Amino acid sequence: MAYLFTSESVSEGHPDKVADQISDALLDSFLAFDPESKVACETLVTTGQVVLAGEVKSHTYLDLQAITRRVINDIGYTKGEYQFSGDSCGVISLIHEQSQDINQGVDRATKEEQGAGDQGMMFGYATKETENYMPLALDISHKILQTLADLRRENKEITYLRPDAKAQVTIEYSDENVPQKIDTIVVSTQHDSFEADDDKMLNKIKSDIINILIPRVKNQFPEHIQVLFGNDIKYHINPTGKFVIGGPHGDTGLTGRKIIVDTYGGKGAHGGGAFSGKDPSKVDRSAAYASRHIAKNLVAAGVADEVLVQVSYAIGVVEPTSIFVNTYGTSKTGLHDGEIAEKVAALFDMRPYAIEERLKLRNPIYLETAAYGHMGKEPQIVNKVFESPYNGRVEKEVELFTWEKLDYVDKVKEAFNIQ
């Protein structure tokens, strides 16, 4: 019997994502001027206010207010009528120094012996369902909101959009776990106040989403995905009615509250640890990236069609306490999942410092992760510039999304004797 599966995404203007982006922008600036910084930044956003909190150990000093305001303006909160803008909001910093009790378990005499920054379990997942090895419902949800943001910034075909938005996609699957069609698409987008009555306004928004946004999204996919966009999709566009009040004025936002949007949309699993605002000594982040790197390379190499990788740590301990692999019965190697996990442990060094080095994580690469998912994006090399009234100007060439590289495929094939 066919079944339905749903994933959601939220826009860069969603209050929780505003908080994530501020936290990661602060992290990037600390790392740009002091790559050895230890950072755990939390952000709260609400009507006209931003509160920064957390723990930092760094040799640099930053203008936290300026960084925060720049991020908010770049997202698009630039007007007083939004009740939240980068130029007018209050910014309160409650950041203090990292606990020495935690730091002593991380810093060691040699970097190679660096302990895990916390206990816990982290997951990575990959599937052959899409070209970027991501779950299809989440991939479509992300693209809906990225494309909606493009339309907002272009301000041509749709001129009333505001930054806050959410999308949700439901896909019908066969018993063989093959996508059959898109069953339902939900889009809620913040918008300007209309002079027209509410019904006329809602009809206009629904028409623009279905006839302008969705065709743009559809054209970003290969043909075998495009055919899933049938004429019988059920649409729910702004189903509660008008959505003028939104963003941090409509809802308080907090760092780390969209961990499923950030990862796999409910597919696979999640260990519970958030990413944004955390430097890579925090294995909540670095080991989750490393686990995705493993899962993606295993699937790309032909080990299995679908892979879940779990790794776990004890705070201050160098080696992981476990590595687990689940291929959901799709293994093509003749090996049991436990045997696959043994080979993975031998092939991928999962000590915290080794992960940092392999994936080049002590670089200012994190703001780009803080909206539309940390996984599934294209690796790329970019130049980033950081300026500070206290530290001058730093320009760095950095590599984004290194955990998405398929640089271990040949090693995996060799390890598993795949031709």
Residues annotated within the binding site for Mg(2+) are 16
Using DSSP's 3-state secondary structure scheme, residue 246 falls into coil
CB–CB of 20/3 below 8 Å?
Answer: no
Residues whose CB is less than 8 angstroms from the CB of residue 148 and which lie 6 or more positions away in sequence, other chains included: 11, 161, 165, 167, 187, 189, 213
State how far the Cα of 297 lies from the Cα of 300, in Å rounded to an integer. 5
Residue 243 token pair: 């959505």
DSSP-derived secondary structure letter, 251: S
SS (H, E, C) 101-122: HHHHHHCCCCHHHCCECCCEEE
Residue 387 token pair: 């300026």
Burial class (CB in 10 A: 0-12, 13-18, 19+), 7: buried
Runs of H (alpha helix) within 272-385: 283-301, 337-347, 352-358
DSSP-derived secondary structure letter, 365: -
State how far the Cα of 250 lies from the Cα of 410, in Å rounded to an integer. 50
Q: Give the residue ranges of the annotated binding site for ATP.
A: 14, 164-166, 242-243, 251, 257-258, 274, 278
Q: Give the residue ranges of the annotated binding site for K(+).
A: 42
**CA diameter of the chain:** 68
Q: Give the residue ranges of the annotated binding site for L-methionine.
A: 55, 98, 251, 282
* Strand ranges across the sheet with 306-313: 120-127, 306-313, 322-326
Residues whose CB is less than 8 angstroms from the CB of residue 163 and which lie 6 or more positions away in sequence, other chains included: 11, 12, 13, 75, 76, 77, 82, 149, 152, 190, 246, 247
Strand residues in 174-320 grouped as ranges (E)? 179-191, 234-237, 253-254, 306-313
SS (H, E, C) 311-329: EEECECCCCCCEEEEECCC
Using DSSP's 3-state secondary structure scheme, residue 259 falls into helix
192-198 long-range Cβ contacts below 8 angstroms, 24+ apart = 192/160, 192/161, 192/162, 192/244, 193/242, 193/244, 194/160, 194/242, 198/241, 198/242
Q: Give the residue ranges of the annotated binding site.
A: 14, 16, 42, 55, 98, 164-166, 242-243, 251, 257-258, 274, 278, 282
